[in-house]
Homo-oligomer: A and B are copies of this chain.
Amino acid sequence: MPDAVRLADKLARFSDLWSPKIVAQFNGHDVMVVKVKGEFVWHSHPDTDDFFLVLQGNIVIQLADGEVRLGPGDLYVVPKGVQHRPVAEEEAHLLLIEPKGTPNTGDAATAAVKDAI
């Protein structure tokens, strides 16, 4: 029987930025928490949508044709293949869902290693 996942407890265990930590598995996907601050790289995922739920703080998801502003309790799904760049002026905490093995930068060569916590 899997355990309940307390997202706040998981987030208290690390401080590195842009480094998603796996907290659960769901239908072949990794469910992850991540801390972000600053500007990420422009990237896209050719084979998967990209799920963002803001748990704390605020982020902007920049897109080629605009931007989406998200605060706590706001959710956004970047469709597969769509170029985007997450940006956070101050530290923000997110829940992410991606198929297992998806590189967070869209490129295996530059992707963060995703450890389970």
Contacts and interface: CB of A to CB of B under 8 A. Distances in A.
14 contacts: A1-B63, A4-B69, A4-B70, A4-B74, A4-B75, A4-B76, A5-B76, A6-B74, A7-B73, A24-B77, A26-B49, A27-B80, A53-B95, A55-B73
Task: List the number of copies, as a whole number.
Answer: 2
A109 interface: no
B24 A66 contact: no
B27 A49 contact: yes
Contact of A66 (B1, B6, B29, B75): B1
A52 to B, nearest CB: 9
Interface of A: 1-8, 23-27, 29, 31, 48-49, 51, 53, 55, 63, 65-66, 68-70, 73-77, 79-80, 95, 97, 99
B2 A77 contact: yes
A7 B48 contact: no
